[in-house]
A and B are shown apart, each in its own frame.
Chain A
């Protein structure tokens, strides 16, 4: 039914529009009254001039009067038309996820502002005064949260309480839907693809940069240097097959089978040159 020919941010689809409203007709009464007065003023003046027998219909005054009145009424009719446009194209839209205010200013001015329903913090409707109470229209103030918080004033809409309730209802629905989505994604039983859970070492190596590979190589050599040897078990497990065990680690080099008596006599002695060199000391 509704076909928009003017651009609105977010490209509204028809099925997303929940509420479409204009200002109440009574808010145009002031402009209409002013327009009628502006139209009647020259007529009243001419009637008064004729009554007092002023000679404005003769001579050059009549020429200026014709041209002047022609220009005056052309301007007035354009003013009335733009005033009506400004009233008629003040449109308020409530969609499933935003409140949109389209403000028309004359022929060529248009301001479109919108606030996301997710950011709505508070909505207040106000019906104040005799005529608003009589005709049932008022203002709706939408307060939004966030760093760029702005108050969104929807003026002179019919049935403001209903609009207020509708906005809050949609806001709550959005919050509820988002809460459900959060529970679903963060809850147990979430299916995660195996490829995303188990890293592929080959693939990760291939994707490494040369610098990362270099770092990884250094870390490996560092680990191998400082890796402590596993403590040897003093009490072997007898239940296991002895043949399957690896041979014992020979940490100390094997001594010659027949050591000379002279070598034995020097055992435990440290020479002065070795002390001066520092570092590793060979026990002799």
Chain B
């Protein structure tokens, strides 16, 4: 099951890189006084929560097992 974990980590790395660049570009085009800053903040907060919850579940599982059920 380690292979699945490695794939997830690679996806997470690519996802974070994509979002850092995307958020940077969005922040560049914001209009003064609009909701972009708040939206970016909420977006990053949700991403952080999803990753944190995922890591919490991942840490509770035994990844060396091979039992399907």
Q: Which residues of A contact B (CB under 8 A)?
A: 1-6, 55, 58-64, 66-67, 69-71, 73-74, 77-78, 81, 84-85, 88-89, 107-108, 110
Contacts and interface: CB of A to CB of B under 8 A. Distances in A.
Interface string B10-40: 0110010001001001101111111110010
A74 B47 contact: yes
Chain B interface mostly helix, strand, loop or mixed? helix
A71 B8 contact: yes
B8 A67 contact: yes
Interface of B: 1, 4-5, 7-8, 11-12, 15, 19, 22, 25-26, 28-36, 39, 43, 46-47, 50-51, 53-54, 57-58, 61, 63, 65-69
A107 B22 contact: yes
A3 B1 contact: no
Residue from B29, B33, B53, B66 having most chain A Cβ neighbours under 10 A: B29
Nearest to B63: A63
B32 A108 contact: no
A70 B50 contact: yes
A6 B46 contact: no
Given A67-B5, A67-B8, A107-B26, A60 B67 contact: yes
B4 A64 contact: yes
A89 B28 CA distance: 13
B1 A63 contact: yes
B64 to A, nearest CB: 11
Contacts of A3: 31-33
Contacts of B65: 59-60, 63
A89 B69 contact: no
Contact of B28 (A1, A6, A64): A6
Contacts of A2: 31-33
A62 B8 contact: no
